Every structure is written in C-alpha cells, then in structure tokens.
Amino acid sequence: MKEGNKKTILVTGGAGFIGSHLCEKLLGQGNKVICLDNFFTGSRDNISHLLKNKNFTLIERDIINNFNYGGSLDQIYNLACPASPIAYQHDPVKTVKANVKGSINMLELAKEKSAGILQASTSEIYGDPLVHPQGEDYWGNVNPLSPRACYDEGKRCAETLFADYQREYGVDIKIVRIFNTYGPRMAKNDGRVVSNFIMQALSGGEITVYGDGGQTRSFQYIDDLVEGMIKMMEKNNFIGPVNIGNPGEFTIKELAERVIKLTGSKSNIVYGDLPEGDPKQRQPDISLAKKKLGWEPKIKLEEGLLKTIGYFKEILNK
C-alpha cells in the first residue's frame, strides 16, 4: 500500500495487555483492526471501549487452530502467547504450541495475503545472559529443560520459523525482542513483578522479593513499546531482530522501594527463594533501535509507575 493509506491489520492476542494498547493506537491512526484472541490471558475489559468503533472487529479464536480470513490483510502483529510465568507454566505444552503451531498458522496467512508480519519476541530468548547488556548478536544462555523453557524456547523457535519463511517464501517479516513492559491493563494476578509489587503495596500486604533483590531488570512503559513496534512494522528493508526496551537498569529491591514510596504504603519487604531459571541481569542494548528506527523510550520509571498505580487504584475501587 502507498504511504499514508489506511491499512487492514490483524492483531493476534489483541485483547491482552500489550495487544489492547496496540489495537487502540492503530485504530487512532484510522486503520481497520481485527483483534483475534482466545481470552486465556486477554480480557474483554481491555477492549470494551473499542467495540463500538466501526473499524474494530473482534474474533474469538485460538491461533493454534487454523484461521481462514476472507478479506485482504496488509499487516499482522503476532502477539498471541501467554507472557507471564504463571500463565505460560499453567499449560507449558500449549505455550509451545502457541509459539510454534500458532506462528506457522500466522506465517501461512501472511504468505497467502502478501501481508507484512511482526513477531512479538522477547528478551527471554537471551535466558540468564552471560553478556551484559544484551545486544541482538548475543545468542543467549537458555536451559531447554527448565520450567521456563516452554516460553523461552518457544519464542526462540518462533524466531527461527519467521526467518525461514522469509528465506524460503519471501514473507515480509519483522522481529522485535520485547523487554520488561508495564502499564495500565496489566492483569493484577499475572505474577509479574510490577503488578505484584503495586497490588501488594496498595493492599498493605508484605512485598515479596525473590532472592536477595539484587537481580536487575529494565522496565519499559507500554506507550514506548507500542511506538517501537509500529516504527518497526513500517520500516522498510529491516527485518530485525531488534531490542525494544528501556535500558534504565534497576534492582528488584530498588523497584520495591520505589513502589512503596509512590503508593505511600506501609508495606514491608520480605524475601523468598529465587525461582529456578530466573535471570540475574536483564538490560537491553538499544543501539540498533536508535540507528534503524530512530526510536528510544521517553517515559521515565517514576512517571510510568504513577500512571500504573493510578490504574490499579481504579481496579481496586470498582
């Protein structure tokens, strides 16, 4: 399509935390958006405000199953996969199927429709990294037998499938590796560190830090991620992979202390055993994103946390 024309875009996992924000942004640009979700981790509440938009279509479907779409498609954003440890370890075999069978189904659809397709990959493909920060040329340190491997190795295999469909069939692919992302519409019980800490702080309970709290993460606000994904999809002659994340690095203990301060909570920090396979460090090298996409995150941690805390306060008051 010519630059400036509105597109028909399929977003798998479109009712999820990230997917709902992406659908909202794409609709705001005037595009026609088809949201496909099986509501395993997605929520109708995330997209309820979009349902009256004439350019928005919701299809309840699992991408593991064949999906035939009769109309034309310009782009596919493939986000459908449980992304928190609680969710993806609930049914690890299905998690692998979502990444492998689901990716094949979407790649076949992209091939049929001559559509561009973006894979929402993850920083988890780097595993417990031996290189810090992590650049796209690092191949990772992943235990294929760990409880987390259904997600880590599933996403790694999905990247392989995307690369092979590009080489063998000429499919127009994009791969983004998403680092820790937070913001409104996170599920309150998904087990992710930001939502956990905020919910524990707002309820006045103890804040649970696993290990000694010295392990690090880099936290990216949802609006920055969505901007990076769209920039990647629109970028010509660049397939990635590319890291999309905030290089600001914080220890888990520092995050807990920041949440306590911003919520005004009286919560105490308690310590538990570190889960198996939990990486000690996680920080993106975003040099490639800056160079190729002209992208870097804009929202600082405190600003993003305040917006997220406001969202969870609303949820608790309903």
Cβ neighbours around 64 below 10 Å, total: 17
Q: How many CB atoms lie within 10 A of CB 132?
A: 15
3-state helix, strand, coil in the chain (%, to 5): 40, 20, 40
Question: Is 258 part of any domain?
Answer: no
The residue type found at 244 is I
Q: Is the pTM of this model over 0.85?
A: yes
Residue 58's pLDDT is 98
Answer yes or no: is pLDDT of 3 > 60.
Answer: no
* 275: DSSP letter: P
128-152 pLDDT, tens digit per residue, is: 899 999 999 999 999 999 999 999 9
Residue 123 belongs to domain spanning: 8-183+220-247+282-298
pLDDT-derived band of residue 235, with 50, 70 and 90 as boundaries?
very high
- The arithmetic mean of pLDDT across residues 194-219, rounded, is 90
CATH number at residue 150: 3.40.50.720
Domain contains 21: yes
pLDDT single digits (tens) 53-110: 999 999 999 999 988 899 999 999 999 998 878 888 889 999 999 999 999 999 999 9
Q: Which two tokens stand for residue 313?
A: 């306060």
Quick one: which of 131, 120, 134, 122 has its CA closest to 284?
134
In a domain, 252, yes or no: no
Candidate list 77, 126, 151, 221, residue with the active-site label = 151
| Domain assignment present for 113 | yes
Q: Does a structural domain hold residue 112?
A: yes
Yes or no: say if 81 and 99 are a contact pair by the CB < 8 Å rule.
yes
Residue 56 phi, psi dihedral angles, 5° rounding: -115, 130
Query: What's the number of domains the chain is made of?
Result: 1
Is residue 46 domain-resident? yes
Has residue 303 been placed in a domain?
no
> Would residue 201 count as lying in a domain?
no
160-204 per-position pLDDT tens digit: 999 999 999 999 999 999 999 999 999 888 878 899 999 999 988
User: Which tokens in the block code for residue 151?
Assistant: 């997600």
In angstroms, the Cα distances linking 230 to 43, 133, 176, 181 are: 22, 24, 10, 16
151 classed as catalytic: yes
